[in-house]
Chains A and B, each alone.
Chain A
Amino acid sequence: MTEQEKKRKCAELVSKSKEVIRETFRRFNPIDTAITWTGGKDSTTNLWIIRQVCTEDNIDLPKVMTIDEGDAFPEITDFLIKTSKKWNIDLQWLCNFDVLKNAMSHLGNTVKVKDLNKRNQAELERIGSKEDSFTFEAESQQGNHLMKTVMFNQFVEENNIKAMFMALRRDEQTARKSDEYFTKKEGGYLMPEHTRISATLHFTERDIWNTTKLYNIPYCSLYEIGYRSLGARTTSNPGEVGVPAWEQNIENVPERAGRRQDKEKAMERMRQLGYM
């Protein structure tokens, strides 16, 4: 692709995202929406595009939140602080302090379920976790649920959010191939009803890098030293160490090859089916 073609493609992709964002603001009052921001390349690009729309249409930027799962890369935390200052964003930091407190903020520590607050206990019951303790590891099934899913749901509830901006991409996992821009999440026990919007669905990993570079969108330094995907610190591994993400074999090597979370999901199912 020539530089001209690249520029044109990025502009088209961004333009498509803006359409989705504008459609969101038509369906929902901007005050009833919020944006998730992990500090990763996808959600930062997503936030950047939403900011543009808000500036162009003279709308106040919706609330922006980030979830500290208790195992963050300091580089990501720094990036979030620096960029939210630069963009003048009052970033809401969420954290399941009850779990963190009981784990004494230490990964690998055992958390006793009976020491947790009622909500956390109910949430563990909801996902079928029967054990009376678990190891505090951010990408374990219980850890992930309490540190991430529960905080997400609580935020939506407490702020009466009707629509959440996410930054998923179709090419991340084959299960996402037919995902749509707007996904309604039905309400249920401990799960607030809301709609999720991923304005970045049509971007590929390569597109995100082209766009980031073209428009000088800030990104975390970890991508420069080889990380392609950034989750919890202990379970994210770089792709090719020392090679910037955008220079790696993006088209042929899976992005999430370093993420333990997908393995954990599969293993949990195997346990439930009587294996192990």
Chain B
Amino acid sequence: MKNIILLTIDALRKDALGCYGNKDGLTPFIDSLKGECIRFTKGQATGPYTQASFPGILTSSYYLEYGKPKGLSPHRTLISEPLKRAGIATAAFHSNPYLCDFLGWNRAWDFFYDSMEDEVSPQMPYIKGNVMNAKVTKWLSSYSMTGDSKPFFLWLHYMDIHEPYTPEKKYVDMVDPSIAISQDEMYIMFENTLLKRDVSSSEKVTLLKKLYDVHVREVDIYVQDFFRTLEKLGILKNSIVIITNDHGDEFNEHGGLSHDDKMYSELIDMPLIIYGRDNNGTCDTLVSNIDIAPTIVYLFGLDPVENFEGHSLLPLAAYHEEGCFGEAMDQKAQRGGDIEKDSYFYREKDLKIICHACIDKWELYDLKQDPNEVNNIIDTSPAAERLRGKLKPRIRRWLS
């Protein structure tokens, strides 16, 4: 039985990857895995930001279904739990505060590193990919020395693409040597433009996107180094690696920046690659990130977990395409705003319906005709009523 490694890359837009159509050559290594992996072309996250999306990835459940989110609900089943019961070693390495120890995400893991005890700087408020790789290598080395024949599940999360977008010169030069601003100046752009969601200057937005692209290039190198380490340790041949994101990032496609509570493709589209299995190629079925945990359970030969709402993607032939759901809250509301502003989406094939529940505003897009989601057909589409009917039961309103 193979080990399973889940590699999640924070804020990675699906369209930043060469294998998904990007022409700027930002991900040569990940692209090179073609031919040795299954690539899902229509993956959807369950939310547009980490807090909303990760319940999908690690607990196969939805963000708001257990009430106003405070930490990891005891009612959810975290992927580490069934694996632990089955005697599989589990280790987690990340530096995202929304998934920390304090919020309960350390449940059941044999090893859980969330970096909260380590010092970070404002310009780089996370742990860099190469440092994460070093920590994982240490764990992998000691694991392989125990001579343990049981497989392991490793979750590794890279934060490097996440704002404040302050890449080092050596990576900038790999993408666009003409960019001459210092890291301090990049940080000022973060404070003055990005944090303020100021899209008035298209030059600034373009520059922000360029800096973002540089980080994508940077992470591809960390992924390459990680694979090299796996090879050196003799682990790669015995492992399946799942590569995905939690959400994307906006660059004024819909009037904003970063990742707020919007359900458009630049945030919801999810790259999903499964490396290390015998069957390869692309799969165009509509899949959700709630299917990832059930797939892991299936690959370890375990019985399906009752609490998991998704279904194993494998074997491909047995996967039943269903619609995808997602939900999020206006993050300002979480800081104690007056109104609970929740949003939802439902996608079926190429139709996506979005609801901003508190203002009863609905949008419907035909993603085939209108991939940029600019033409709202809620009032004219014959599918509107049926899709509304699908989404309405998901609308979770609650009193404060």
Interface residues of A (CB under 8 A from B): 127-128, 130, 173-178, 262-263, 265-267, 269-270, 272-276
Complex: chain B residue closest to A177, CB-CB: B111
Is A267 a contact partner of B112 (Cβ separation < 8 A)? Answer: no
Q: How far is the CA of A262 from the CA of B116 in the complex (A)?
A: 8
User: In the complex, which residues of chain B have a beta carbon less than 8 angstroms from the beta carbon of A267?
Assistant: 97
For the complex, is B120 an interface residue (Cβ under 8 Å from A)?
A: yes
Most buried by B among A173, A266, A273, A274: A273
Is A270 a contact partner of B101 (Cβ separation < 8 A)? Answer: no
Report the stretch among B57-65, B102-110, B262-270 that lies at the interface. Answer: B102-110
Main secondary structure on B side of the interface with A: loop
- Residues of B168-227 at the interface with A, using a CB-CB cut-off of 8 Å, are 190, 194-195
User: In the complex, which residues of chain B have a beta carbon less than 8 angstroms from the beta carbon of A273?
Assistant: 97, 125-126, 162-164
- With A175-B117, A269-B120, A273-B162 already in contact, 15 other A-B pairs whose C-beta atoms are closer than 8 Å: A127-B119, A130-B122, A175-B116, A177-B111, A262-B100, A262-B116, A265-B102, A266-B98, A269-B97, A269-B116, A270-B97, A273-B126, A274-B164, A274-B194, A274-B195
Complex: chain A residue closest to B104, CB-CB: A254
Is B102 a contact partner of A262 (Cβ separation < 8 A)? Answer: yes
Is A175 a contact partner of B98 (Cβ separation < 8 A)? Answer: no
29 CB < 8 A contacts A-B: A173-B101, A173-B117, A174-B106, A174-B109, A174-B114, A175-B114, A175-B115, A175-B116, A176-B117, A177-B111, A178-B111, A262-B100, A262-B102, A262-B116, A266-B100, A266-B102, A266-B103, A269-B125, A269-B126, A270-B97, A272-B120, A272-B125, A273-B97, A274-B164, A274-B190, A274-B194, A274-B195, A274-B258, A276-B335
Complex: chain A residue closest to B122, CB-CB: A128
User: In the complex, which residues of chain A have a beta carbon less than 8 angstroms from the beta carbon of B115?
Assistant: 175
Interface residues of B (CB under 8 A from A): 97-98, 100-103, 106, 109, 111-117, 119-122, 125-126, 162-164, 190, 194-195, 258, 331, 335
Distance between B111 CB and nearest chain A CB, rounded to angstroms: 6
Most buried by A among B102, B114, B162: B102
Is B98 a contact partner of A270 (Cβ separation < 8 A)? Answer: yes
Is B103 a contact partner of A175 (Cβ separation < 8 A)? Answer: no
Complex: chain A residue closest to B331, CB-CB: A275
User: In the complex, which residues of chain A have a beta carbon less than 8 angstroms from the beta carbon of B194?
Assistant: 274
